[in-house]
Structure 1
Amino acid sequence: MGNSPGPFIKELLGRKLRRSVSLKLIIAIGSLIFLGSAVFWVGFVIRGENKYLQLSIEHAKDYLRLSEVALRSCMLKGQSHRIEEAVRDLGRSEVFEEVSVVKHPEGSIRFTSSDKKGKTIHKDSVECKLCHENPSGPGTEAYRVERLDHGRKLLLLRAIRAENNCTARCHSGASSPVLGFVEARYSLTPLDRTLKEQKVATFVFGFILTAVCSGVLCIILWNILIKHLYTLTDAMEAVRKGNLDVKVSITSRDEIGTLAQTFNSMIEELRDARKKLENWAKELEEEVKKKTEELRRGQEQMVHTEKLASLGRLAAGVAHELNSPLTGIVTFSHLLLQRIPPERKEDREDLEVIIEQAERCSKIIKGLLGFSRAMKTEMVPLNINSTISKVLDIIRNQAKFHNIKLITDLAPELPEVVADPSQLEQVYMNLIINAADAMNDRGELRISTRKVTIEGQDFVEIEFSDTGPGIPPEHLDKIFEPFFTTKPVGKGTGLGLAVTLGIVQKHGGHIDVKSTPGKGTSFFVRLPAKKEDAEG
């Protein structure tokens, strides 16, 4: 949000009035300002009117007093014609519209600037009532504002009192101290015109001042309240849409700042909670995948074990049925080969082929018998390093391993495992021979042992790593299937790794394979450690 109230105006125009808190605040405060200003300016105008009216009255009174002094001077001198002229001049002045001298108590008009000379003022007239109802008593000054069709007029009365220097010739036999009155009418039209202009100017100024104050108030409200409310509203809308990275930047130390800090803290807690939920969901997903993979592997192992068991039973039966005939074929073929003279070369070659193929069948039968025997176990505690050393002593002097560099890295103080020694030796032998075949009887074979812990359980791990060509990725999931082999025809039966996997699984372990084409293959045999040794 910017610092300009422009978005505020757009907000007021774009949202429904009943839903705009800012507009409600502006209307409420603006109404208070308007009412307060109206009361103030009306009072100000009324006070101004009264003040100017009072000034006009005092001005008229002062002028009338001076006029009364001048008339009294003429009366004392007995200059009636001068009185007539003075009254007429006063009526023509800028101050008074009409001036008359009334004799008391007859009420006859003796001198006047109008055409009322000789007329009599009755006791019920406005002039008489104004004088006699005067709170200061009759015979003093009195005034009254008259509202006529053509404007307001000020009626002034001033008593002409008998004094010691009055001559008997003028007022002989007068019993009242009041000899008469000077009556004057003062037009308030110029004053009313001036007051009207001032009233209009005052209200225009008041309206402008109220508008300016309201505008300033809007800007102040925008900067200290409404802008921050919109910032919070936008942030909440962003949170509603799922954006928890939003942060409200309000640095004020008032309630709005506290609200912003609370909002930021709440968003941070929500963000942490969402991260935890995401982590939990990810962990749960990984755990589900892991358990699914374990179930899949377990199912595959069960199927594989069942296949091996069935195959083992079949292999035992087939091996026993075929072993005796093949032994006879090989024996009598050798006897027949001895009786055939050397010159019958073709016959001897045919017999040699028969002997070779029969011996191949015999080798397969031996593999089947070994496979069937692998199904029977005799479990005893043993040391892995000892069984490996025993197997290595057997193969070191074989011609097949003369060009293979055997490297051992056997960890000392390994925990014992509970296993069948002969079957483990068969596992080692199968993996070592497979490595030698993969390297074409030359290369480097590393055998290492170590203790590992997987999911809180201790295992003894035996690693067989060769420098052969590696296993193609598309064959990795098939190498443990019975009769699957990548060796040339006549070089392998495809039972070695199947027998190896069956033995390891029967011992509660598992085998992992890592192979890089062109660099070599590593087999990892993991057997569960004996519990007493693992705990020790």
Structure 2
Amino acid sequence: MFCTHFLRLLSFKLFALLMLLLIILFSFYMYINLKLHTSHLMANVIASANRTSDLIKKSTRYSMLKNQKEDVDQIITTLGNLQGVDGIRIYNKKGLIMFSGRKEETGEAVDMKAEACYVCHSEKIPKKTLPSINRTRIFYSQKGYRVLGLINPIDNEPDCSNASCHAHPASIKVLGVLDVKMSLAQVDRNIRESENKMIFFAVLFILTVGIVSGVFIWFMVHNPVKKLTIGTQEISKGNLDYQIDVKSKDEIGQLAKSFAYMMQELKKAYEEITNWSKTLEKRVKEKSEELERTQAHIVRVEKMASLGKLSATVAHEINNPLGGILTYTKLLIKKLEKLNIQGYDESIIKFLKIIENESKRCGRIVKDLLVFAKSSSVNFQQENLKNVVEKSLLLVNHHLEIKNVKVEKIMPDADLTIVCDTNQIQQALIALFINSVEAMPNGGTLRIELIPETGKNLIQIKISDTGVGIKEDIIPNIFEPFFTTKKDGSGLGLGLSVGYGIIKKHEGDIAVDSKINEGTTFTIILPTDLPKGEQKVVE
């Protein structure tokens, strides 16, 4: 199991490939080197054999010219006993051994097909000349070592054919052959020695390179890859906090950094999924509440539309009778005052005044109903919101003084120009101002703050008071028509509804934040870039 796992390692495969390449390269190098070395040694041996052969020919030339066979024999015997010389023979052209380093061979005839003779006598007519490359031969001696044989023809020189002692006809070109045999035992030993040394140093070098390469691959490849592998295993177990300790700046180091970044992203995504799972119930609840608010808003809009139609009908039906009552009441009062009748009950005029005042109040109610129900057009024009706020405050200034309410204004120097229907925005602000003032019966502070949101093309209007506040359970109902918290019946409950409708006509929004006995803040958000001109608004 361990061997199988080890063989699958990337580091082992790299190491095995490197060692295989080293072995192949060094084997090829040794083969070429040994071939060259062997060729060089053989060339030296052949050169030595040629020199020896030439030396013998020159040493025996004079003795042969004088036919001094004893001297020739002595020279052959002496040179034949030299180290490295395996034998020296001189053949005549008939194959008879004339001289030899071994006395017992002298006078023997050799087979013309022997290795020394066959080169020249392979054909019917013996060759008169022989190329240098064909003069050498290598064979194994009876003792088992290799021998280099060199044949050197003895030409019939003019001195030989003119000699008085043993003249040879000039027509004979070759008198015989000098055969020198050099032992290759020492050469073979040198080759084997060189081969063994080469193998030793090659193995030593391969082992050294292998150890260094193995250590390098182990620390630079195996360990980082192993750490990456452990990292992937830790991730598969869900351990996203595991840190990979790879500090190298190479490709593996970059891979480790990318892997660490991936782990961080996975951890972040996992935490987001976990948090999402934990807060899913809360999110569902929030969405449900948002849907409920949207549904309530739709119901409120439908209710306002229905009430608008009903209010318009009722207002038109009541307005004419009220006008008649008010007119005749004023007429009766004037006539009674002109007649100046003594003894009539003054309470009659008092009652008529009450009828007049109540008729006027009913008239105002009818007027508010008509304004609420009216399908009107709005005229959007550029206007500085600061001016609209100032005019609205001016119209309720007397009301503020009576209630002992102080005004704080926070208006930045930035451009607060918006596109709106000035009269309607002013009407909505007045309704909110009056609502805030009436929430402070004992006086207080009315705070107005304008906040531009330049990047979003929006402006916030915050209207805050220090009044009694609004209960949380009735906040969703305060913009409904005819909803009021005044118990004395002094309010109709249309002011905030009308203001809400105006804000919606301007594609804005309004929000309420209130705390009991601390105060209420109305936040109006209006766009600044509505299209100019008169536009029909359908209720």
TM-score of the aligned structures, taking structure 1 as reference length: 0.52
Amino acid at match of 1:58: A
Match of 2:186 among 151, 175, 190: 190
Residue identity in the other structure for 1:437: E
Contact 1:446 1:466 in 2 (8 A): yes
Counterpart of 2:441 in structure 1 is 440
2:81 aligns with 92
Q: Is the 8 A contact 2:155 2:176 kept in 1?
A: yes
* 2:40 counterpart residue number: 51
Match of 1:152 among 129, 146, 168: 146
- C-alpha separation between the residues in 2 aligned to 1:81 and 1:187? 26
**Which region of structure 1 is more displaced relative to structure 2, 412-421 or 98-107?**
412-421
| Within-5 A mapping of 1:98-497 | 98-103=87-92, 105=94, 107-109=96-98, 111-113=100-102, 115-130=104-119, 137=129, 143-148=135-140, 150-158=144-152, 159=154, 171=166, 180-199=176-195, 201=197, 230=251, 234=255, 299=298, 302-306=301-305, 308-309=307-308, 312=311, 372-377=369-374, 388=392, 391-392=395-396, 395=399, 401-405=402-406, 417=421, 431-445=432-446, 465-471=464-470, 475-481=474-480, 490=488, 495-497=493-495
C-alpha displacement of 1:377: 3.9
- In structure 2, the CA distance between the partners of 1:100 and 1:36, relative to structure 1 (3 Å rule), is closer
AA matched with 1:59: S
Q: In the superposition, relative to structure 1, how do residues 66 and 406 fare at CA in structure 2: closer, same or farther (>3 Å)?
A: closer
Q: CA deviation at 1:120?
A: 1.6
Q: Given the superposition, is the C-alpha separation of residues 135 and 365 from structure 1 closer, same or farther in structure 2, using an over 3 Å criterion?
A: farther
CA distance in 1 between counterparts of 2:111 and 2:429 reads 152
Distance 2:409 2:101 in 1: 150
Residue deviations 1:128-168 (CA, integer Å, cap 9, x gap): 44456897728999832132372432223442867759998
Letter in structure 1 aligned against 2:150: L
| SS at structure 2 position matched to 1:115 | helix
Letter in structure 1 aligned against 2:55? L
Partner SS, residue 198 of structure 1: helix
Matched residues in 2 for 1:140 and 1:309: separation?
134
Whole-Å separation in 1 of the counterparts to 2:97 and 2:400: 167
State the shift of 1:438 in Å.
Answer: 1.7
Residue type matched to 1:392 in 2?
V
Cα drift, residue 215 of structure 1: 12
Q: Quick one: distance in 1 between partners of 2:179 and 2:504?
A: 141
Cα displacement (A) at 1:37? 8.8
Distance 1:524 1:211 in 2: 86
**d(CA) in 2 for partners of 1:58 and 1:527?**
112
Deviations 1:430-464 (A, max 9, x none): 5444323321231234679999999879x9x9875
Taking a change above 3 Å as real, the CA distance of residues 54 and 41 of structure 1, as seen in their structure-2 partners, is: same
SS class of match (1:153): strand
CA separation of 1:497/1:509 partners in 2, compared to 1, >3 Å: closer, same or farther?
Answer: farther
Kept in 2, the 8 Å contact 1:501–1:510? The answer is: no
Where does structure 2 lack aligned partners over 5 or more consecutive residues?
Answer: 1-5, 221-247, 266-290, 323-357, 380-386
Paired letter, 2:502: V
Q: Is the 8 A contact 1:87 1:113 kept in 2?
A: no
In the alignment, the residues of structure 1 paired with residue 184 and residue 191 of structure 2 have an alpha-carbon distance, to the nearest angstrom, of: 10
Q: How does 1:24-39 map to 2 (within 5 A)?
A: 38=28
Report the 3-state secondary structure (helix = DSSP H, G, I; strand = E; otherwise coil) of the residue aligned with 1:468. coil
Residues 189 and 92 of structure 1: CA distance in aligned 2, closer, same or farther (over 3 Å): same
* Alpha-carbon distance change, 301 to 501 in structure 1, aligned in 2, over 3 angstroms: farther
Give 1:187 deviation, angstroms: 1.6
Kindly indicate whether the alpha-carbon contact (under 8 Å) linking 1:144 and 1:155 is maintained by their aligned counterparts in 2: yes
Residue 94 and residue 388 in structure 1: after superposition, are their counterparts in 2 closer, same or farther (change >3 A)? closer
Pair 1:148–1:494, CA change in 2 (3 A): farther
CA distance in 2, matches of 1:166, 1:530: 139
Instruction: Tell me the distance in 1 between the aligned counterparts of 2:168 and 2:311.
Output: 170
Distance 1:165 1:511 in 2: 140
1:504–1:511 Cα contact (<8 Å) kept:
no
Q: Which whole-Å CA distance do the structure 1 matches of 2:52 and 2:181 have between them?
A: 12
Q: Once superposed, what is the RMSD of the aligned Cα atoms?
A: 6.8
**Alignment CA distance shift 1:121-1:239 (3 Å):** same
1:54 CA drift (Å):
2.7
Query: Tell me, what secondary structure is at the counterpart of 1:171?
Result: coil
- What is the one-letter code of the residue matched to 1:155? G
Find the aligned partners of 2:33 and 2:304 in 1 and give their Cα distance. Answer: 109
Gaps of 5+ in 1: 1-9, 245-291, 324-360
Q: Secondary structure of the equivalent of 1:481?
A: coil
Q: Does the 8 Å contact 2:304/2:481 carry over to 1?
A: no
* Cα deviation, residue 96, structure 1: 1.8
3-state DSSP of counterpart to 1:439:
coil
Q: How many residues align?
A: 417
Letter in 2 for 1:305: M
* DSSP 3-state at the match of 2:84: coil
CA gap 1:57/1:135 in 2 versus in 1, 3 angstroms = farther
CA contact (8 A) 1:465 1:521 kept: yes
Residues 479 and 496, structure 2, Cα contact 8 Å, conserved in 1? yes
Q: What is the DSSP-based 3-state SS (H/G/I as helix, E as strand, rest coil) of the residue aligned with 2:479?
A: coil
